[in-house]
Structure 1
Amino acid sequence: MHNFLPIAYFQNQFVPFENATVSIATHALHYGTGAFGGLRGIPDPQNPNQALLFRLDRHCKRLSNSARFLHFDLPADKIQSVIVDFVRKNQPKSSFYIRPFVYTSDLGIAPRLHKIEKDFFVYGLELGDYLSPEGVSCRISSWYRQEDRSLPLRGKISGAYITSSLAKTEAVESGFDEAILMNAHGKVSEASGMNIFIVRQGQLITPGYEQDILEGITRDSVLTIARDLGIPVVERSIDKSELFIADEVFLSGTAAKVTPVRRIENYELSNVRPITEKLRDKLTAITENRDSAYKDWVYVIPLD
């Protein structure tokens, strides 16, 4: 059961969440012609009269870019302004997640992006741990990650997430927590809604953008932190077999944060994860605004 925040932004105004509804004939509902973002916020542990949002500017820029694939001009500063007002109006008291969404709001039936109305809404919900911080089990999915030549994978296009949904359900129904998708070339791509990292011989390794991954904001944060900590970083293709013999494996994402992987298929991984733990602890400190070196990653919103 989700605890939704009471106020949503819908059709250019703030309304009660239960009043933010769309028609069953909405174009995006039928064709997946939407794009979404997702960002976390917390009440400031040092000051309950303000909320903290992690890398708000990057999230807004990515959603603005995603909207361009839908032929929708939605400036990043407009998105940011709405999200800041959204948080102020909701006055969240616990960890929360914000879902901004752009979509074709027309009631037409032709699959197209030209000469069709678009809109933008924002809602949120209370959210703790999305995946177990103790670690998750993963299976290699029978579904493959799409290719950028058939879908704009640089954006979070809603229609693309049918593959994620199929992979996630397949994993859970076969006794695992998460799925790892390969790309069309047989290389590791990402999890159902997270990027993936492995550690081998002290190196932090993750698939590059050419492996049809999402340009993850948490992924970028982890890479930056690792470099700052002096951890060698390599972005390259990863073979399936490397997953089974890696020293550490973890997933990263806005909802997942940094989540260790404890088992892949029938291969148990080590529960000694020094690099994963170091990165997770550092990321937590940053999101809680306890690290002055990364102050520009945290947007502070005063609450009444």
Structure 2
Amino acid sequence: MPDFLPYAYFQGQIVPFAEAKISIATHALHYGTAAFGGLRGIPDPQNPDQILLFRLDRHCQRLSQSAHLLCFDLPADRIEQVIVALIQKNRPSSSFYIRPLVYTSDLGISPRLHNIEKDFFVYGLELGDYLSPEGVSCRISSWARQEDRSLPLRGKISGAYITSSLAKTEAVQAGYDEAILMNSQGKVSEASGMNIFIVRNGILITPGFDQDILEGITRDSILTLARDLGIPTQERPIDKSELFIADEVFLTGTAAKITPVRQIEQYQMPANRPITEQLRQKLAAITENRDPDYPHWVKVVRFDD
């Protein structure tokens, strides 16, 4: 069982994690009518009395937008206030992950978003490396990424993650670490819960928003960093065969951070990953508040505020 932080935000107040419980009749549990976020935090290496959060404002904005897709008005600044208060209450002493979730909290059996109660909660857990930093093996999934015309893919809608779950389990049971999903047009979309990048001839390439991907915050950060570092970037469709001949492949996400891909199906990826490593070192420096160029990406939470 994960090591959960001792307190959660639930039904409008901070309570012990063990007391934050929902009914088995909760609407969102049955219909996937929920949306979640996730962000990492670490104790400041230079000051143990404060916490560093990576791009808190952007995470709260995306969750607010996801709530809007569920017909729920939840301002981003309200989400941020709750997260900060919860962290101050928990006073985590190691790397952790915060999970906020908005959901239809009514007790009912009719699938709908109108005339139904909605709420949100937040909890956290200790979290180190989600995937091996040494690299992962990937399988091309038999499951296809959904289309935006059938699901609002601009939000992290919980019901959409059945496809991710099927793909992940299929990959692991076949002896791989992770899955890569294609979209309905047969182009590379994303991994089970991460965006994907490849490098070819010194150019950093990733599928664009028109490839039915999630608007990943780490993805956006990597594109910004690459451009600032002078690395050419392209957002365009990627064919499956391009994965097999790429110079570098890596996955990005809040939990995964930057994770190299060392194998795709039976193809071994090059062990030399200069662009991946350059970006990974830059991102680590920013999240630890050691980089003077991106202080606006780090929210400092002080325990004595």
TM-score by length of 2: 0.99
State how far apart, in whole Å, the 2-side matches of 1:86 and 1:184 are: 40
User: What amino acid does structure 1 have at the position aligned with 2:96?
Assistant: F
1:181 match: secondary structure: strand
Q: Which residue of 2 aligns with 1:228?
A: 228
Match in the other structure for 2:288: 288
Distance in 1 (alpha carbons) for counterparts of 2:301 and 2:70:
30
The CA RMSD measured in Å over matched residues stands at: 0.4
State the alpha-carbon separation in 2 of the partners of residues 68 and 137 from structure 1: 36
Q: Read off the aligned partner of 1:276 and give its amino acid letter.
A: T
- Code of the aligned partner of 2:204: L
Residue of structure 2 equivalent to 1:78 = 78
**Counterparts of residues 89-108 of structure 1 (less than 5 Å):** 89-108=89-108
Where does residue 109 of structure 2 map in the other structure?
109
The answer on 1:214 being equivalent to 2:214 is yes
Report Cα offsets for 1:250-295 as digits up to 9, x if no partner: 0000000000000000000011000000000000000000001000
> Which residue of structure 2 lines up, in the alignment, with residue 203 of structure 1?
203
Corresponding residue number in structure 1 for 2:275: 275
Match of 2:20 in 1: 20
Residue 249 (structure 1) aligns with: 249
Paired with 2:108 and 2:139, the residues of 1 have a C-alpha distance of: 40
Does 1:142 pair with 2:142?
yes
**Number of residue pairs aligned between Structure 1 and Structure 2:** 304
- CA positional deviation for 1:303: 1.5
Match of 1:35 in 2: 35
Instruction: Tell me how far apart the structure 1 counterparts of residues 179 and 303 of structure 2 sit (CA, whole Å).
Output: 39
* Residue 156 of structure 2: aligned partner: 156
Provide the rounded CA distance (Å) in 2 between the counterparts of 1:158 and 1:173. 23
Unaligned runs of 5+ in 2: none
Q: Which residue of the partner structure matches residue 57 of structure 1?
A: 57
2:82, 2:122 → 1: CA distance? 8
State the match for 1:237 in structure 2.
237
Q: d(CA) in 1 for partners of 2:302 and 2:71?
A: 34
Aligned partner of residue 294 in structure 2, secondary structure: helix
Looking at structure 1, the residues matched to 41 and 31 of structure 2 have their Cα atoms a distance apart, in angstroms, of 30
Is 1:126–2:126 an aligned residue pair?
A: yes
Corresponding position: 1:4 with 2:4: yes
Distance in 2 between residues matched to 1:292 and 1:24, nearest whole Å: 48
Q: Which amino acid aligns with 1:27?
A: H
Tell me the distance in 2 between the aligned counterparts of 1:223 and 1:46.
28
Gaps of 5+ in 1: none
Moved over 4 A (4+): none
Partner Cα distance (1:85, 1:43) in 2: 16
State how far apart, in whole Å, the 2-side matches of 1:277 and 1:292 are.
19
Q: Deviations over 1:163-202 (max 9, x none)?
A: 0000000000000000000000000000000000000000
Alpha-carbon distance in 2 for matches of 1:136, 1:206: 18
Identical pairs, percent: 79
State the secondary structure of the residue aligned to 2:293. helix
TM-score by length of 1: 1.00
SS of aligned partner of 2:25: coil
